[in-house]
Amino acid sequence: MTSRFASLLALILLAWAPTAQAAPVNTGHLVAELVSEAPAIAPGQTIQVALRQKIDAGWHTYWRNPGDSGEATKIAWTLPPGWQVSDFTWPAPEPQPAGPLVNYGYSGEVLLPMRLTAPADAPVRQTITLTAAAAFLVCEEICIPEDAVLTLALPVQAEPAQPSGRWARPIAQTLAAAPQADPALTAVFNYSEGALSLAVAGAPLAGRDLAGSYFFPFDGAVLDHAAPQGIERGPQGLTLALTPSYAFQSPEPPQRLEGVLKAGDAYYEITATPGPAPAGAAGLGPPPARSGGSGAGLGLPLAILFAALGGLILNLMPCVFPVLAMKAASLAGHAHEQAAARRQGLAFGAGVMVTFLVLAGALVAAQAAGAAVGWGFQLQSPPVVAALALLMLAVALNLSGVFEVGASLQGIGSGLAAKGGLSGAFFTGVLAVVVAAPCTAPFMAPALGWALTQNPVASLTVFAALGAGFAAPFVAVAFAPGLLSRLPRPGPWMDVLRKVLAFPMYGAAAWLLWVLTLQAGPMGLARLLAAAVVLALGAWLLGLSQKRGGTVLKGAAAVLAVAALAAALIPAYPVGASSGDEAGGAVAELPYEPYSAARLAELRAQGVPVFVNFTAAWCVTCQVNEQVALARQGVADTLARTGAVYLKGDWTRKDEVIAAELARHGRAGVPLYLVYDARGSAPDILPQILTEGLVVRALEAAARPS
């Protein structure tokens, strides 16, 4: 009897014994512990254990691929001989937008299961204490590395233990929901001309609601995580339009694309290889440059606001200064004729809006056709640059009084007609936009970058907001009688003002001439100079005919103007005539290397800080930054002191690699300045307007070890 009582008492004590014990540890912003699905383990048995994280509200930890920044949770075990633990079974992550970045991770409570296997000779009726060191990066607006040493005590019993207790069901649910490979799914990808498509098809996706589908790559280097993923449905699956990262531009691009596909409310592990689209997926070809998906980042209301603000600020950018001459002359001529001034303002606004929308429509159509172009694309064409240079010269000659278009300024005050000058105001708006295109004002870059990933209606809406912001100051002044009345009455002073304002137009023509030398080399320069001389002769003959009369002179002037245009444009400029470096362009006082994705990857692998400057000769903002902020002794000294490498990407001529890199960072044009630190983190994006101190501080921060 005593023996039976003792056995019963032993069973009761065993049932109430603190088996599979783990001590929770508060690391500061989460509580971590090791938990087990079973209260014990048998020799040779495999059970599931898990690292539990209970994360503070508003904070998060990271998935196996943390995304643009962050660091995955890690664990290192200290095990007795013969014991084995697998890697984590990672639950599906959550996207975690962080400004312009997107990370992947977890919030609230998460279990990371692992398989624990006991050796066949594990001692029965003993409790084994397992120890593990866990490391977490816990982030809110700031990130804090935290760690914990955790223990798990497991009794070893003769018979296999069955799942039971508090953590059996949560661990089982986590494993059931974790992404799994499904042999019924076929996945392939296609990479072509900077664009990446991923097509997945099979019975598990047939008839499923695939809205909100998303691909989480295992490798953090293959995709731009912040770029939206466009979705195209097929009867048996879908195709995602992805934005590739620099890994696809290396000499040996990836041959496997592995990760987790979120398809509706289900998650699948997939491994895609290059090949034709599987049956039932949407067509797999080079994906369109824009996405019909929901998009990410700004959203339409904020993009409209940023575009309008950018348009306002664009009036203050250096590239618009020459056209201010035409604006000023027009305002001065109509200051005391309120009705005419209002019509002039509206005509100028119409010219701005029409031109913005035409350029935007051409840009949208070009990108939809697969061309790698961005804002300011028209100035990547040597014929367009040549034509604009001649146009600026003609406008300057007109302002200088060599010939007249319409009534002279002296007579405007006494002889304004209701229709007078409206076409000129409209033309001024057109020219202002064409000349302003090379500039990217603050707020413009994120708005245009967002717009060029959306459907055409959203894109054109954002460009319309940009045009409205750009036109608003001039239109507002035209409707402000109090401001206009402060100008003197028309008189001889206006002719002097007109001639003075011709010189910014000469400057614009000279700048465009310089841009052409970088695109078309010495022969292009010689051809355009010859055309400019012929055009100037034609303008002088036209002015002479206006003073003395005579159709012969007018005819000769017209012939010379056509000849000038032909001399500049008919001999086609060779697309690859010379690069900026060969022509001597974009020379800086700083030592730099030409940008390439392979060189950037090599430097980052070596732990070298890198400053990347995406620029163009036709980008006035870029050139001002070059002189004011970059070509400075302080920056040169900082580069030498920190060992940072300066890479320059020249977008003066079309370059699909640079266009893809701009799009990867949410930009549609230059300038774009990136600073990569020595620690392998995501790059810092500097503002469009630089100062020497800002660049120096960014380089010093990038060189710090931690």
pLDDT of residue 305: 87
Angle formed by the axes of helices 338-368 and 456-478, nearest 10°: 160
The single-letter DSSP state of residue 629 is: I
pTM: 0.44
98 vs 552, higher pLDDT: 98
pLDDT of residue 262: 94
Phi, psi of 98, deg, nearest 5: -140, 85
Say how far apart CA 121 and CA 214 lie, in whole Å.
46
| 297-315 tens-digit pLDDT | 457 888 788 888 877 877 7
- What value does the mean pLDDT take over residues 139-161? 88
Domain closes at, from 159, 175, 191: 175
Cis peptide bond N-terminal to 671, omega within 30: yes
pLDDT of residue 573: 42
pLDDT of residue 392: 77
- Are 62 and 133 part of one and the same domain? yes
Q: Is the pLDDT of residue 458 over 50?
A: yes
Q: Is the pLDDT of residue 210 over 70?
A: yes
Q: Is the pLDDT of residue 583 over 50?
A: no
Phi, psi of 676, deg, nearest 5: -100, 130
| Of the candidate ranges 107-111, 199-203, 288-292, 561-565, the one whose mean pLDDT is the lowest | 288-292
137 vs 444, higher pLDDT: 137
| Of the candidate ranges 191-200, 414-423, 472-481, the one whose mean pLDDT is the lowest | 414-423
Parallel/antiparallel/unpaired status of strands 21-22 and 25-26: unpaired
pLDDT of residue 15: 40
Does 528 map to a domain? Answer: no
Whether residue 240 contacts residue 189, with contact meaning beta carbons closer than 8 Å, is answered with: no
Number of folded domains that form the chain: 4
Q: Is the pLDDT of residue 484 over 60?
A: no
| Of the candidate ranges 116-130, 413-427, 543-557, the one whose mean pLDDT is the lowest | 413-427
Q: Is the pLDDT of residue 401 over 50?
A: yes
| Of the candidate ranges 181-195, 203-217, 241-255, 374-388, the one whose mean pLDDT is the lowest | 374-388
Q: Is the pLDDT of residue 73 over 70?
A: yes
- Are 171 and 89 part of one and the same domain? yes
Say how far apart CA 483 and CA 474 lie, in whole Å.
12
Q: How confident is the model at residue 113 (pLDDT cuts 50, 70, 90)?
A: very high
pLDDT of residue 690: 84
Q: What are 251's two structure tokens? A: 């000499």
Domain closes at, from 152, 175, 198: 175
- Give the alpha-carbon dihedral of 493, 495, 499, 500, to 10 degrees: 20
Does 540 map to a domain? Answer: no
Q: For the purposes of burial, counting CB atoms within 10 Å of the CB of 706, is it exposed (0-12), middle (13-18) or buried (19 or more)?
A: exposed
- What value does the mean pLDDT take over residues 389-395? 79
pLDDT of residue 103: 86
Say how far apart CA 207 and CA 201 lie, in whole Å.
11
pLDDT of residue 281: 65
Q: Is the pLDDT of residue 116 over 90?
A: yes
- Are 304 and 438 part of one and the same domain? yes
- Are 151 and 36 part of one and the same domain? yes
pLDDT of residue 194: 75
- What value does the mean pLDDT take over residues 520-538? 75
- Are 493 and 360 part of one and the same domain? yes
179 vs 412, higher pLDDT: 179
pLDDT of residue 402: 83
Does 519 map to a domain? Answer: no
Does 686 map to a domain? Answer: yes
Based on its alpha-carbon atoms, the radius of gyration of the chain, rounded to whole angstroms, reads 34
Does 657 map to a domain? Answer: yes
- Are 447 and 477 part of one and the same domain? yes
- What value does the mean pLDDT take over residues 175-184? 92
Does 28 map to a domain? Answer: yes
- What value does the mean pLDDT take over residues 527-553? 76
45 vs 138, higher pLDDT: 45
Q: How confident is the model at residue 6 (pLDDT cuts 50, 70, 90)?
A: very low
pLDDT of residue 247: 76
* CATH classification of the domain holding 191: 2.60.40
Domain closes at, from 482, 504, 526: 504
* CATH classification of the domain holding 143: 2.60.40.1250
Say how far apart CA 376 and CA 433 lie, in whole Å.
10
In the block, tokens 């100062």 appear at 691
pLDDT of residue 481: 61
pLDDT of residue 357: 86
The share of the chain scoring above pLDDT 70, in percent, equals 72
- Are 260 and 326 part of one and the same domain? no
551 vs 268, higher pLDDT: 268
- Are 159 and 187 part of one and the same domain? no
Average pLDDT value over all residues in the chain = 77
Q: How confident is the model at residue 44 (pLDDT cuts 50, 70, 90)?
A: very high
Q: How confident is the model at residue 502 (pLDDT cuts 50, 70, 90)?
A: confident
Does 609 map to a domain? Answer: yes
Q: Is the pLDDT of residue 38 over 70?
A: yes
Say how far apart CA 345 and CA 325 lie, in whole Å.
15
Q: For the purposes of burial, counting CB atoms within 10 Å of the CB of 87, is it exposed (0-12), middle (13-18) or buried (19 or more)?
A: exposed
- Are 22 and 169 part of one and the same domain? yes
| 315-357 tens-digit pLDDT | 776 556 566 555 655 655 555 566 777 787 888 888 888 888 8
Mean pLDDT: which of 6-15, 377-386, 407-416, 421-430 is highest?
421-430
pLDDT of residue 663: 79
109 vs 250, higher pLDDT: 109
Q: Is the pLDDT of residue 34 over 80?
A: yes
- What value does the mean pLDDT take over residues 571-579? 38
Q: Is the pLDDT of residue 137 over 90?
A: no
- Are 171 and 185 part of one and the same domain? no
Does 156 map to a domain? Answer: yes
pLDDT of residue 220: 87
Angle at 171 between CA 165 and CA 173, to 5 degrees: 115
Say how far apart CA 94 and CA 106 lie, in whole Å.
6
Beta bridge partners of 47: 116
- Are 342 and 384 part of one and the same domain? yes
pLDDT of residue 75: 96
Q: How confident is the model at residue 11 (pLDDT cuts 50, 70, 90)?
A: very low
427 vs 146, higher pLDDT: 146
pLDDT of residue 629: 83
Q: How confident is the model at residue 510 (pLDDT cuts 50, 70, 90)?
A: confident
pLDDT of residue 200: 92
Q: How confident is the model at residue 377 (pLDDT cuts 50, 70, 90)?
A: low
Q: What are 254's two structure tokens? A: 């990836």
- Are 357 and 409 part of one and the same domain? yes
Domain membership of residue 48 as a residue range: 17-175
- What value does the mean pLDDT take over residues 63-87? 91
Q: Is the pLDDT of residue 24 over 70?
A: yes
